[in-house]
Amino acid sequence: MSITTFAPARPARPHLRAPFAAALLAMALAACTGGGGSVASAPSPGKRIKGVPTVRQPARTAPREAQVQMAPGLEGVVGASQGQLVQQFGAPRLDVWEGDARKLQFTGSACVLDIFLYPSASAREPHATYVEARRASDGQDVDRAACVAALRRR
């Protein structure tokens, strides 16, 4: 009795495997991209486009009052508007909006100061409610009041 071993079948054309995989990947990526046509404007709220699901926007509510972080040395910063902060520290390095909240970043040789502004029910524009400070060199936290004082002196 003889034992016959079977080797796994080898693909007939192994040299075609990589180009075929690359072609499949290219087709999959092409399916994900836009067609390059013109951009259609959004329909008015009352119109419905056939085949497009309707997304309901949540009801807009009045902003909740932000919890204010008051600490010694932050007087004139916490509670200030964007214009008042620019008067104190100059033009911000960053001005980032996220929803209705805003972050202004001021920098100097001593530190980086991030000031977060949130809307309130009593004011038309967002006001500073929270402050973070760190060293520019390594990102380690520094005293917020000392950073504010250093940036005011520059």
Tens of pLDDT, residue by residue over 128-151, are 999 999 999 999 999 999 999 999
The one-letter code for the residue type at 144 is R
Question: Is 124 part of any domain?
Answer: yes
Contact between residue 131 and residue 105 where contact means Cβ atoms under 8 Å apart: no
Question: Is 120 part of any domain?
Answer: yes
Look at residue 43 in the predicted model and tell me its pLDDT.
Answer: 47
Is the pLDDT at 24 greater than 70? The verdict is no
Tokens of 136: 């520019």
Contact between residue 117 and residue 128 where contact means Cβ atoms under 8 Å apart: yes
Question: Is 100 part of any domain?
Answer: yes
Look at residue 38 in the predicted model and tell me its pLDDT.
Answer: 44
Domains of the chain: total: 1
pTM over 0.95: no
Tokens of 102: 């805003």
Question: Is 60 part of any domain?
Answer: no
- Give the domain extent around 136: 82-153
Tokens of 47: 């119109």
Question: Is 104 part of any domain?
Answer: yes
**At 39, is the pLDDT very low, low, confident or very high (cuts 50, 70, 90)?**
very low
**At 41, is the pLDDT very low, low, confident or very high (cuts 50, 70, 90)?**
very low
